[in-house]
């Protein structure tokens, strides 16, 4: 499935203002367990590999493959997923390759790097555009993110004109998590 989205870090006051303005339609809890090899082979191949459990189901093995470099904070990825029985400590790299339909060079096993929890709230949906706001916790960090998944960029652009986000910092959950992971595991 093709995924096109804009993710931007926001401040706590911006998060609170958006929550108050839109009164989220629903909120779900997610546990995201990230995986990679010791040599970060998945990252090197433009992949994010995680197991996600939501309060409404899971676990699901999800693999996201970057299709192109970000353009003004917008990322385009192919997303593959399948249900699994549990949250493993290790994932065979060959199984990720099978899910993608390709061979992945590098080590044979990826290990669980850790956990990032997300409280995800749906702000609204409009014309094939979904607006989420996330509160993420990992290691010793709490941060906030606006995520806009879209097929129609006009709706996204109109929203950002009405609610401008200053100094858009576009960094996905895995990159933020990995930055902190590497700091803690030097």
For the cut 90, the answer to whether the pLDDT of residue 35 exceeds it is: yes
Which pLDDT belongs to residue 148? 87
How does pLDDT run across 120-164, given as a tens digit for each residue?
999 988 888 899 999 999 999 999 999 988 877 777 777 777 776
Letter string b/e over residues 79-108, b meaning 16 or more CB atoms within 10 A of that residue's CB: ebeeeeeeebeebebebbbebeeeebeeee
Query: What pTM value is reported for the model?
Result: 0.89
pLDDT of residue 168: 62
pLDDT in tens, 60-89: 999 999 886 666 667 778 889 999 999 999
Rounded-to-integer distance, Cα 175 and Cα 80, Å: 19
Domain map (residue ranges) of the chain = 4-185
Whether residue 39 contacts residue 172, with contact meaning beta carbons closer than 8 Å, is answered with no
Which pLDDT does position 86 carry in this prediction? 94
Retrieve residue 55's tokens.
Answer: 């309060």
> Which residue would you say has higher pLDDT here, 52 or 186?
52
**4-185 sits in which CATH class?**
mainly beta
Contacts of 13 (CB under 8 A, 6+ apart): none
| pLDDT grade for 31, boundaries at 50, 70 and 90 | very high
Query: CB count, 10 Å around CB of 140?
Result: 8
Residue with the bigger pLDDT between 68 and 179: it is 179
Least confident of 52-56, 63-67, 103-107: 103-107
In which band, very low, low, confident or very high, does the pLDDT at 166 lie, cut at 50, 70 and 90?
Answer: low
Quick one: which H or E segment has residue 35? strand 26-36
Please provide the average confidence, as pLDDT, over all residues in the chain: 87
Give, in order, the Cα–Cα distances in Å from 13 to each of 6, 16, 86, 128, 159.
20, 5, 37, 27, 18
Of 131, 171, 173, nearest to 148 by C-alpha is 131
Q: Which one, of 108, 5, 110, 89, lies nearest residue 47 by Cα?
A: 110
């Amino acid at each position: 499935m093709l995924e096109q989205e804009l993710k931007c870090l926001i401040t706590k006051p911006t998060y609170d203002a958006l929550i108050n303005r839109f009164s989220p339609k629903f909120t779900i809890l997610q546990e995201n367990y990230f995986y990679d090899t010791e040599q970060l082979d998945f990252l090197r191949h433009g992949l994010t590999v995680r197991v996600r459990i939501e309060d409404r189901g899971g676990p699901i093995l999800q693999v996201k493959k970057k299709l192109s470099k970000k353009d003004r904070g917008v990322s385009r990825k192919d997303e593959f997923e399948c249900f699994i029985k549990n949250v493993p400590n290790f994932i065979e790299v060959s199984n990720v390759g099978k899910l993608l339909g390709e061979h992945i060079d590098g080590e044979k096993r990826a290990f669980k790097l850790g956990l990032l929890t997300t409280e995800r709230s749906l702000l609204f949906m409009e014309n094939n555009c979904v607006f989420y706001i996330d509160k993420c916790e990992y290691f010793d960090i709490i941060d906030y993110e606006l995520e806009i998944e879209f097929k129609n960029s006009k709706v996204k652009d109109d929203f950002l004109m009405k609610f401008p986000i200053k100094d858009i910092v576009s960094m996905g959950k895995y990159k933020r998590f990995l930055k902190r992971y590497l700091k803690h595991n030097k």
